[in-house]
Amino acid sequence: TQRVFSGIKPSGDLHLGNYLGAIRRFVPLQDTHETLYCVVDMHAITVWQDPVDLKRWTYEIAAAYIAAGLDPRKSIIFNQSQVVEHAELGWIFNCVARVGWMSRMTQFKDKAGGEGGENSEQVSLGLYAYPSLMAADILLYKATAVPVGDDQKQHLELTRDIAKKFNHDYKKQIKALGGKGDFFPVPETLATGPAMRVKSLKDGSKKMSKSDASDMSTIYMMDDADLIAKKIKRATTDADALPSEAAGLAGRAEAENLVGIYASLSNRSVDDVLGEFGGQGWGVFKPALADLSVAVLAPIADEMKRLVSDRGEMDNILRDGAARARTIAEPVMAGVRDIVGFVR
């Protein structure tokens, strides 16, 4: 069976996009794949994180994984910093990857102010090297299947380049140590059905994001029913009625987003949802969407609250996950140290 690795940064409260685009899609994989789900706290600190918040969000994400249906006996659930090999392999990959590769990453350019790096005095060196650490996260377990959204496609491509370059640079040594070919497998994006890209409730051209400054644009997994209803009611839309089929949503980004969320939450197709709501106005659709969102999210939020209230128990789960992760990581890392030529 293929091994899956994915992670979420503890850099803010989890939102509907993280749920529909990531967490919910992780759950069925634990029955078909060997699965590792990480809370990537070392990635989170590439931008400043208050240490108290960082801990709280780390527990919150681990709790969300479990509340959404990940079983800590089936999946390895852990936080990245507890398996120090991530940092060790990340360093080696910093020495495999090229500066030019990192400079081309659009996510970095967005934050650093383009190729010229106008904000480069403001952004951390860690943010620049982020993709090498991500490559380490995946390749430390020789994971071959990575369920990530479009926002991570470019980074995953770089992981593939790092795997290939490592295999190539150390070809002789890999062979000398008895390896038959490549040391690292080249991982692939794992497509798990139509992946919903949830957009901001205030701007249909922007993705919903943990680090969005406007709270009204984002539905958080822990929002209560009233707040969810209020945010959906105030979501930006046009004034037209809903079309009766998906094609009618073209050019209507906000409408497309809300209908897409409804379809995704109810596991129905957009056409099916529009078959029901076509011709209706937002006064009918928005309350229905609010009810559905609450019906899906409230039980998960309740379970998350219960789980995070017992940090001792969460610590046990994360420590156990880290120990199991290390049993996979350690032999891989031992192989890497030998290949690179580190004396032990």
Annotated binding site: 9-11, 17-18, 137, 149-151, 198, 207-211
Residues 154, 158, 163, CA angle at the centre, nearest 5°?
150
Binding-site annotation, residues for L-tryptophan: 137
User: Contact residues for ligand ATP (CB under 6 A)?
Assistant: 8-9, 11-12, 17-18, 20-22, 148-149, 151-152, 196-198, 207-211
- 38 in Cβ contact with 137 (< 8 Å): yes
Question: How far is 199 from 61, CA to CA, in rounded Å?
Answer: 21
Three-class SS state of 274: helix
290: which residues sit within 8 A by CB, 6+ positions away? 225, 228, 229, 232, 233
111 is known as an active-site residue: yes
The single residue of 142, 199, 210, 231 carrying the catalytic annotation is 210
Q: Provide, rounded to whole angstroms, the least separation between the CB of residue 7 and ligand ATP.
A: 7
Q: Provide, rounded to whole angstroms, the least separation between the CB of residue 207 and ligand ATP.
A: 4
- Closest by CA to 189, choosing from 240, 151, 223, is 151
119: which residues sit within 8 A by CB, 6+ positions away? 111, 112, 113
Question: How far is 101 from 162, CA to CA, in rounded Å?
Answer: 10
Q: Provide, rounded to whole angstroms, the least separation between the CB of residue 45 and ligand ATP.
A: 12
3-class SS shares of the chain: helix, strand, coil, % to 5: 60, 5, 35
Query: Residue 12 or residue 90: which is nearer to ligand ATP going by CB?
Result: 12
Amino acid in position 47:
V
The single residue of 206, 207, 230, 286 carrying the catalytic annotation is 207
CA atoms within 13 A on the CB side of 117: 13
Q: Provide, rounded to whole angstroms, the least separation between the CB of residue 152 and ligand ATP.
A: 5
Query: Residue 79 or residue 167: which is nearer to ligand ATP going by CB?
Result: 79
Provide the residue count of the chain.
344
Give the tokens for residue 168.
Answer: 């190539």
Query: Residue 142 or residue 210: which is nearer to ligand ATP going by CB?
Result: 210
* Residue 240: C-alpha distances to residues 23, 254, 309 (Å): 33, 12, 45
The single residue of 111, 142, 199, 231 carrying the catalytic annotation is 111
Binding-site annotation, residues for ATP: 9-11, 17-18, 149-151, 198, 207-211
Q: Provide, rounded to whole angstroms, the least separation between the CB of residue 169 and ligand ATP.
A: 29
230 is known as an active-site residue: no
Strand partners, 15: 220
286 is known as an active-site residue: no
Query: Residue 211 or residue 316: which is nearer to ligand ATP going by CB?
Result: 211
Question: How far is 1 from 123, CA to CA, in rounded Å?
Answer: 40
Query: Residue 148 or residue 265: which is nearer to ligand ATP going by CB?
Result: 148
Residues annotated as catalytic are 111, 207, 210
